[in-house]
Amino acid sequence: MSIEKKHILIIDDELEIRTVIQEILIEEGYSTEIAESAIEAEIKIKNKIPNLVFLDIWMPDVDGISLLKKWSKENAINFPVIMISGHATIETAIEATKLGAIDFIEKPISMEKLFDALNRAFNFTDAMSNEDILSYILRKSKTMSNIFNSTLGDSRARKKLFIVGETGTEKHGWARYLHLRTNKDESNFKNMHLNMLSSDHKEVDAFKGYVVEEINEIKTGTLYINGFSSLNNERQSIVLSVINGMHSNNNINRFIAIDSNIDREDLEFLTNEYCLEIPPLRKFLDEIPELLKLCVEYFSENEGLNIRRFSLASQNMLSKYSWPGNIKQLIDMVHATLARQDKEIINIEEIEETLTLQGPQGNLLVQSDVMTLSMKEAKKQFERAFLIRQLEIVEGKISELSRRVGMERTNLYRKLQSLDIKYKK
């Protein structure tokens, strides 16, 4: 079997364990090194960064968890880590996962366990090589990865998970990243859009049949259910009963991630399952400078956009902004700013201009390539962006909007309708 020459470091104080693992890996064509202590391991990694590390939890002097903590604190985990132990508790396994380990195997180590862990690790690494920007942020940002890893550790044995968060928190992206951490590839990550059902599913029996059919299509992997919050209580109960009924079949290794805008307190009457509550961006404004930096890095590396730097003043301003569109708004704002290919430093004026072109939920109201449009289309986009922003400022009051923009109310109503702007009558 032809295998790419990947370098693996085995860290274990037991000579027999590290020798057995090394011999199996060499026979399979991998490049390997061994270390009997944390000190020796750090020297080996300094000389050559591995593609994968097997790390024993219980070692003299510095144990595996302490070494993992050190790497995590220094943001030095540039390789997948698989923990190995003969007598670790579930709490230890969860702690290792929170610190960045992607898998955990117990001694005695069989060849089946070893190869299963290897495949999961390298498939995750390959998937991350084509990662989207949210996955990049979740992997690189300590704050965001801590939120994620605490949930991953607590939900390893669960069959469904409510992903709760405001609009723009990118719940789908969090579900996809969770899938890639625990599955081989993205081919068995399936989306089910409950908020896009056709009229054929209006009847209860037809709706239930649709849910059963969709869930039956995936026997293993992750099913991401979008639009659960938009259903009435009866439909929500149908979805949950179908999921619970199918999970009674232990042969099906399926994980259900449910997108919800419902408040966490309101979920208690629906299910006792665990919730991943994604906090809004305004809850960790101190992290804005790091998130800006990560977005610039990603778009530079993956889309070839010029590297630009946010001035200290613009970072301070953005660290006080409310971010109604959450992380999606920040990502879109950085992308729109970099796409302008202006001078290297991004100042406050440019930020204010970009934010003005974003709607109440942070979505861009005007295309970034507006200069390529006709005068008529560009004017229409500007009018729509202008009126949506003004409507937000006056909190939907048409009389106040009429006064602010200097338009008679009848004409203003016509203009709002022609631009497909929703308003309260």
Whether 217 maps to a domain, the answer reads yes
Question: What does each of the 425 residues of the chain score in pLDDT, given as a tens digit?
Answer: 334 578 999 999 999 888 999 999 998 889 999 999 999 999 999 888 898 999 998 888 888 889 988 887 776 677 888 888 876 566 676 677 767 787 788 888 888 888 888 877 776 666 556 678 998 898 888 888 777 776 655 554 556 777 888 888 888 888 888 887 766 567 778 877 775 554 444 577 778 887 888 777 777 778 888 878 777 778 888 888 887 776 555 444 567 777 766 555 555 544 445 677 888 999 989 999 999 999 999 998 888 888 899 999 999 999 998 888 899 889 988 988 888 777 889 998 888 877 766 655 555 545 545 555 677 777 777 787 778 777 876 778 888 888 888 888 888 888 888 887 877 66
Same domain, 261 and 301: no
Residue 405 sits in a domain of what CATH number?
Answer: 1.10.10.60
Interstrand relation of 189-193 and 220-226 (parallel, antiparallel or unpaired)? parallel
166 DSSP assignment: -
Same domain, 404 and 390: yes
Same domain, 256 and 142: yes
Report the distance separating Cα 306 and Cα 265, nearest Å. 44
Same domain, 121 and 44: yes
Determine the number of helices (DSSP H) and then strands (DSSP E) in the chain: 17, 12
With residue 33 as reference, give the H or E element that holds it.
Answer: strand 31-35
Same domain, 257 and 142: yes
With residue 315 as reference, give the H or E element that holds it.
Answer: helix 312-318
Which residue shows structure tokens 């665990």? Answer: 274
- Domain extent at residue 40: 7-129
Whole-angstrom Cα Rg for the chain: 26
Same domain, 119 and 20: yes
Whether 366 maps to a domain, the answer reads no
Residue 150 sits in a domain of what CATH number?
Answer: 3.40.50.300
SS (H, E, C) 254-310: EEEEEEECCCHHHHCCCCCCCEEECCCHHHHHHHHHHHHHHHHHHHHHHHCCCCCEE
Report the distance separating Cα 117 and Cα 126, nearest Å. 14
Whether 368 maps to a domain, the answer reads no
Same domain, 194 and 254: yes
- 318 close to 291: Cβ distance less than 8 angstroms: no
Residue 286 sits in a domain of what CATH number?
Answer: 1.10.8.60
Whether 343 maps to a domain, the answer reads yes
Same domain, 294 and 405: no
Same domain, 120 and 139: no
| Count of the separate structural domains present in the chain | 4
